[in-house]
Amino acid sequence: MQAITVFCGANTGTDPIYTQVARQMGHLLAEEGIALVYGGGKVGLMGVIADAVLEKGGKVIGVIPHFLAQKEVEHTGVTEMHYSETMHERKMKMFEISDAAIAMPGGFGTLDELFELCTWAQLGLHGKPLCILNANGFYDGLLQFLDRLVTDGFLKSENRGIILDANQPIDVLAKMRAYEPVPVPKWITKEEI
């Protein structure tokens, strides 16, 4: 993996552990020679992870919509910055220039970004590893909900494996490196129509 997209909050959250884990993840990416691809902001966990990668001499590629750059949330110290017109274009660019994606703690935007990539994987549009960094149990409820989707018949168990999860940055990279996409046939067969 040469570049990994990290989705995370434009806030740091209420527990300092989120900032600590973002710094650890950033340092690890730089030490492993993996470029960070992220939303281009200087605020929240986005700014923390970007600064952590830069502190260790790593490469940081930001992708930010023009309207957010104009609101002065753009990180001006990154290695490379790409600009988009829309949030969707931003997601597409981040996806195109990375080999994998990690979701750290965040809000609606983080969930939107993660689940769009999950949907693309479910449809067979890519086989890139996607992993939740479940710092401080932040995503425990979501992971339980994903299991319920399987139990209640809304998600194939094979597709549940699209979203990896780990509690520590080092484990995130290990799981992503070991990931093998599983081809899943169509949900509805011709006979079921």
In the predicted structure, residue 186 carries a pLDDT above the cut 70: no
| Residue ranges of domains in the chain, CATH in brackets | 3-192 (3.40.50.450)
d(CA 3, CA 18): 22
| pLDDT reading at 187 higher than 60 | no
Which 3 state secondary structure label does DSSP give 7? strand
Which among 179, 159, 24 is positioned nearest to 104, based on CA atoms?
24
What count of other Cβ atoms lies within 10 Å of the Cβ of residue 81?
Answer: 16
In the predicted model, is pLDDT for residue 188 greater than 70?
Answer: no
pLDDT at site 174: 98
Is beta strand 3-7 parallel, antiparallel or unpaired with respect to 35-38?
parallel
As given in the structure block, the two tokens for residue 70 are 């104009």
* % of the chain with per-residue pLDDT over 70: 95
Of 32-46, 123-137, 163-177, 178-192, the range with the lowest mean pLDDT is 178-192
Q: 84 - beta bridge partners? A: 65
Which tens digit of pLDDT belongs to each residue from 65-108? 999 888 878 999 999 999 999 999 999 999 999 999 999 999 99
Q: Whole-number mean pLDDT of the chain?
A: 93
Please tell me the predicted confidence (pLDDT) of residue 192.
52
Structure tokens at 51: 């600064």
Bridge-based pairing state of the strands 35-38 and 130-133: unpaired
User: What's the start-to-end Cα distance of the chain, in Å?
Assistant: 41
**pLDDT attached to residue 124:** 87
Number of C-beta neighbours around residue 39 at 10 A: 31
Residue 193 confidence (pLDDT): 45
What mean pLDDT comes out for the span 2-10? 97
pLDDT in tens, 50-59: 999 999 999 9
